[in-house]
Amino acid sequence: MIANLELYRAFYWAARERNLSRAAERLFITQPSVSHAIKQLENELAVTLFHRGAKGVRLSEEGQVLYAQVEQAFYLLESGERQIAEIKNLMRGELRLGSSDSLCKYYLLPSLGRFCNDHPQIRLDLMHGTTPEIIRNVKEGRIDFGIVRLPLQDEALVILETITVQDSFVVGPRYLSLVQNEISLQQLIKYPLILFSKTSSSRKFIQEFALSHGVMIEPEIELASVDLLIEFAKAGLGISFVTKQFVQSELDNGSLFEIKLAEPIPPRKIAIAFLKNRRLTPATKSFFGQYLNVEYDEA
């Protein structure tokens, strides 16, 4: 294959315009330069590509064969350049991310709604799962980034902190007596506990926190949905461990009550996690900066 694409570019425009001077104007070069390029190409291919006449040039039989292919090639190149420009201008592309159901519903959903409303051409690809599942999907390239709860230690990832949340134990009216006074973790475990499944970061977090105070926490009920944690607590089936911000409306209307724990539960951060040295797409960078208010400098 001829390495110099400019030879084909001169041929392409000469064939389109049927005039070397007009081809030169298209290419912003001189007419002799176009003639020289075509002659070079003819020498390389060992054929005559044009018949020259007083009114311009016309393609030879070999030239017609070549032009049919070159025209398609230049169309594909122009299409590729146009698509890249559209991606850069958020006129097309994908936003590929993952999060837990609870983070999606209570944290991400408003931002995703605004983003999709502002950029309806961007395709949304959202995967659900626990933090370990989300991180695995990030590393395997199934998604570009994940929204996770901290703490999280992984040398392969960039971790960008977003908001701070406060976890708490909550109960429904059946256990109203527990919220009158402060109680200890040791007292808490005497009652039925409702926790996330073992693979969740929230379950690991509260169990490690309790162990740091010498208390072993084991739930009577394990659930995989924050909505079920909320509903089970409201129904009086036990004490649920949830993120306070996610149940604020229930706390305000009196369908749930927060337990005052003697050992204060430390706040946690929600974060964005993605692979180091991964180039972020324009859609992802826009979502970070404009919709999650998180700045990231790739440099």
Spell out the domain ranges in the chain: 5-88, 94-146+276-291, 167-266
CATH class of domain segment(s) 94-146+276-291:
alpha beta
Task: Say yes or no: domain 5-88 is CATH 1.10.10.10.
Answer: yes
- Domains 94-146+276-291 and 167-266 in one fold: yes
Q: Is pLDDT of 81 > 80? A: no
Which pLDDT belongs to residue 92? Answer: 74
Which pLDDT belongs to residue 165? Answer: 95
Q: Backbone phi, then psi, for 64, in 5-degree steps?
A: -65, -40
Which pLDDT belongs to residue 222? Answer: 95
Q: Is pLDDT of 1 > 60? A: no
Q: What average pLDDT score do residues 199-224 get?
A: 93
Q: Is pLDDT of 159 > 70? A: yes
- Cα-based angle 260, 175, 204 (whole degrees, multiple of 5): 55
Q: What average pLDDT score do residues 178-183 get?
A: 94
Q: Is pLDDT of 118 > 80? A: yes
CB 46 within 8 A of CB 62: no
Which pLDDT belongs to residue 265? Answer: 96
* pTM flag (> 0.85): no
Which pLDDT belongs to residue 282? Answer: 86
Model pLDDT for residues 34-79, shown as the tens digit of each residue: 999 999 999 989 999 999 887 889 999 999 999 999 988 887 887 7
Q: Is pLDDT of 184 > 60? A: yes
Helical H segments across 5-139, by residue range:
5-17, 20-27, 31-45, 61-88, 101-103, 109-118, 131-139
Model pLDDT for residues 11-30, shown as the tens digit of each residue: 999 998 999 999 999 889 99
Domain 167-266, CATH number (from 3.40.50.300, 3.40.50.2000, 3.40.50.620, 3.40.190.10): 3.40.190.10
